Structure 1
Amino acid sequence: MTVTADVQQGAGSGADVPFPGWADEVRALAKKRGAVLLAHNYQLPAIQDVADFVGDSLALSRIAADVEADTIVFCGVHFMAETAKILSPEKTVLIPDARAGCSLADSITVEQLREWKAEHPDAVVVSYVNTTAAVKAETDICCTSSNAVEVVASIPEDREVLFLPDQFLGAHVRRTLDRENMHVWAGECHVHAGINGAELTRQAETHPDADLFVHPECGCATSALYLAGSGAVAADKVKILSTGGMIDAARATKAKQVLVATEVGMLHQLRRAAPEIDFQAVNDRASCGYMKMITPEALLRSVRHGTDEVHVDPELAARGRAAVERMIAIGQPGGGE
């Protein structure tokens, strides 16, 4: 198995466990089933630690396609498991709890996208990978938070762009490229949107020597750039990063303390990547309830009984796969979000 720069191999932990030895039982059942265990960066620490690979959604989906395992157990939210199925249609994909949804993916339906496209018939549709399979099937090209600027920049300047669904990531891209003919859908992740500029400013004032790692989905991303532009925080301390980019930056920074603006599950991997650094959440309440639905008990049930299997209509999957492949053709997409 190959571990990319955006994905870390799992280790052992005693946190959040249902009973002693549960992790060994999970691994034994997965081996018996011929399954690989994938966990997103926002999962519970115990889930991250039992997984074969930990990372962000697209990086994990690409690993799912590369590994020899016939079964993928994806510990994340539903659109992530769908993406793995899109890229690995011949494999069995399981999600330990099919109820684990995503407020961002749910912020645009395929019907809404079709109506939007009808209003702009010549526009190029760019969809964040944090979308459903049905939306990906109506998309011209996907993007990740780490390559969204590059993807939109590849589109001829005289073509309109419909960017969806995240308004904060879209605003970041439009601001970076100064692109007036780019329309941005008003969607958001409720967790990231809740990390606001006032909190970030307050934390930055309290920790003047800290680096700021800010996910572009956050409601505070514009504030972070303002702090850098105004000189309130040194420009080289403010970094707008995907989750995979945060891991790389953690290993490279010389800072002793880092303020992190994203879902709090990310702190576990950051602290593993650079244990000498004090990582602190900008908002320690920024926890995704959907991600935390994947409990050790749910994972045990999934590897024992094969629940819950994810299915994607083959025709939808083929169209969605084409949108992902167009993105990859532009350049290495790095992490998923």
Structure 2
Amino acid sequence: MTVVDIPAVPSAPASPVSGAQWAAEVRALAEERNAVILAHNYQLPEIQDVAHHVGDSLYLSRIAATAPESTIVFCGVHFMAETAKILSPEKTVLIPDAAAGCSLADSLTADQLRAWKAENPGAVVVSYVNTTAEVKAETDICCTSSNAVDVVASIPADTPVLFGPDQFLGAHVRRVLQRDNIQVWGGECHVHAGINGAQLAATAEADPEADLYIHPECGCATSALYLATAGAVAPERIKILSTGDMVTAAKQSTSRSVLVATEIGMIHQLRRAAPGIDFRPVNDRASCSYMKMITPEKVLRSLRELRDEVVVDPQIAARARGAVERMIAIGNSGGGE
């Protein structure tokens, strides 16, 4: 398993500028700048509420590729803003804090991927979209958590696959497709990996009527299947879903209570989608400090000053674009990361 040192990231301070006046100024500046604001589901609630589009990585990638605005303000982490730039090289892409990184993306470098490919000639490389532009440039096709199974299923069954960097998503794909020629990199998101099986079992036992929404990046995804096999949790209660698919499931659900295993920012979107359901996190400390680096004052500063522009080397972007476009074309038309 790849070990990644996670740099300390200060918690986002409570913003003195958030509120109706801030939101009105942000929207007015966005119109003036011909800018569209995109926000990931894990962003702070006030960021989600002011954005023009909120969703997961696949949905936001589609918006970035087709939005008519000349400027994209991407409220997420750096690899997401890079992906927007790859898909729309002619547009200005801004991220309100350029230091907003990703431990999962950091767990596989382009040099490591090149070495892995050299050891496995003939293998098809499938990279989770949570990777850097340089890794995407070495990739045959990207995927998100909602279309990962479809992406790998589109590859001939006798062709070996190198899947990276998330070990839990890779294990999920291998389990669903029952293919033993899928090699999986040992990376992980430190937030999702920290949502463990013991926490899931305890919260499920405390609320035996609740459904379980589990992101496949979580360390507890396999444990959920064990709970079902052991009879501790009814199998129909367990739903392994991307964040986008969680919103879809919530809108269609008749449950009164849902336990959610993913980053806690997701709870805000779920409550908006289905206000009559009691959504609660499996781990209420599962907060990504990188995501929370995007604060209201930084969004306002980004629009005022047009600063922290995301730049991707044109040659790298050109090589990465095909892998990302193939991801967008395959499989689930709804959710993503």
Q: TM-score range by the shorter chain?
A: over 0.9
Dislocated runs of 4+, deviation >6 Å: none
Q: Work out whether residues 74 and 93 of structure 1, in 8 Å CA contact, stay in contact via their aligned partners in 2.
A: yes
Partner of 1:18: 17
Partner of 1:12: none
Match of 1:49, SS state, is: helix
Q: Work out whether residues 327 and 333 of structure 1, in 8 Å CA contact, stay in contact via their aligned partners in 2.
A: no
Partner of 1:154: 154
In 2, the alpha carbon distance for the partners of 1:332 and 1:221 equals 20
Unaligned runs of 5+ in 1: 1-14
Structure 1 residue 181: Cα displacement = 1.0
In 1, the alpha carbon distance for the partners of 2:266 and 2:54 equals 11
Partner of 2:235: 235
Q: Work out whether residues 30 and 36 of structure 2, in 8 Å CA contact, stay in contact via their aligned partners in 1.
A: yes
In 1, the alpha carbon distance for the partners of 2:220 and 2:85 equals 33
In 2, the alpha carbon distance for the partners of 1:219 and 1:40 equals 21
In 2, the alpha carbon distance for the partners of 1:214 and 1:54 equals 20
In 2, the alpha carbon distance for the partners of 1:116 and 1:63 equals 32
Partner of 1:93: 93
Q: Work out whether residues 193 and 217 of structure 2, in 8 Å CA contact, stay in contact via their aligned partners in 1.
A: yes
Q: Work out whether residues 40 and 75 of structure 1, in 8 Å CA contact, stay in contact via their aligned partners in 2.
A: yes
Q: Which amino acid aligns with 1:107?
A: S
Q: Which amino acid aligns with 2:82?
A: E
Q: Work out whether residues 62 and 328 of structure 2, in 8 Å CA contact, stay in contact via their aligned partners in 1.
A: no
Structure 1 residue 120: Cα displacement = 0.3
Structure 1 residue 261: Cα displacement = 0.1
In 2, the alpha carbon distance for the partners of 1:133 and 1:334 equals 23
Partner of 1:204: 204
Unaligned runs of 5+ in 2: 1-13
Q: Work out whether residues 260 and 279 of structure 1, in 8 Å CA contact, stay in contact via their aligned partners in 2.
A: yes
Partner of 1:297: 297
Structure 1 residue 330: Cα displacement = 3.2
Match of 1:260, SS state, is: strand
Partner of 1:307: 307
Partner of 1:71: 71
Cα distance, 1:99–1:57 mapped onto 2, change above 3 Å: same
**Amino-acid identity (%):** 74
**How many matched pairs?**
323
Match of 1:156, SS state, is: coil
Partner of 1:107: 107
Structure 1 residue 19: Cα displacement = 5.1
Partner of 2:321: 321
Cα distance, 1:239–1:329 mapped onto 2, change above 3 Å: same
Match of 1:85, SS state, is: helix
Scaled by the length of structure 2, what TM-score is found?
0.94
Which deviations, in whole Å up to 9, do the C-alpha atoms of 1:48-105 show, x marking residues without a partner? Answer: 0111111012211211221211000000000000001111111000000000000000
Partner of 2:226: 226
Q: Work out whether residues 146 and 332 of structure 2, in 8 Å CA contact, stay in contact via their aligned partners in 1.
A: no
Cα distance, 1:186–1:19 mapped onto 2, change above 3 Å: closer
Structure 1 residue 205: Cα displacement = 0.4
Structure 1 residue 232: Cα displacement = 1.1
Structure 1 residue 141: Cα displacement = 0.8
The correspondence of residues 51-200 of structure 1 with structure 2, limited to 5 A, is: 51-200=51-200
- Please report the RMSD computed on the Cα atoms of aligned residues, expressed in angstroms: 1.2
Q: Which amino acid aligns with 2:233?
A: V
Structure 1 residue 229: Cα displacement = 2.0
Match of 2:289, SS state, is: coil
Q: Work out whether residues 147 and 330 of structure 2, in 8 Å CA contact, stay in contact via their aligned partners in 1.
A: no
Q: Which amino acid aligns with 2:201?
A: T
Partner of 1:261: 261
Cα distance, 1:212–1:19 mapped onto 2, change above 3 Å: closer
Which deviations, in whole Å up to 9, do the C-alpha atoms of 1:175-215 show, x marking residues without a partner? Answer: 11111111000000000000000000000000000000000
Q: Which amino acid aligns with 1:205?
A: E
Partner of 1:271: 271
Q: Work out whether residues 18 and 46 of structure 2, in 8 Å CA contact, stay in contact via their aligned partners in 1.
A: no
Partner of 2:252: 252
Q: Work out whether residues 151 and 327 of structure 1, in 8 Å CA contact, stay in contact via their aligned partners in 2.
A: yes
Q: Which amino acid aligns with 2:203?
A: Q
In 1, the alpha carbon distance for the partners of 2:71 and 2:57 equals 17
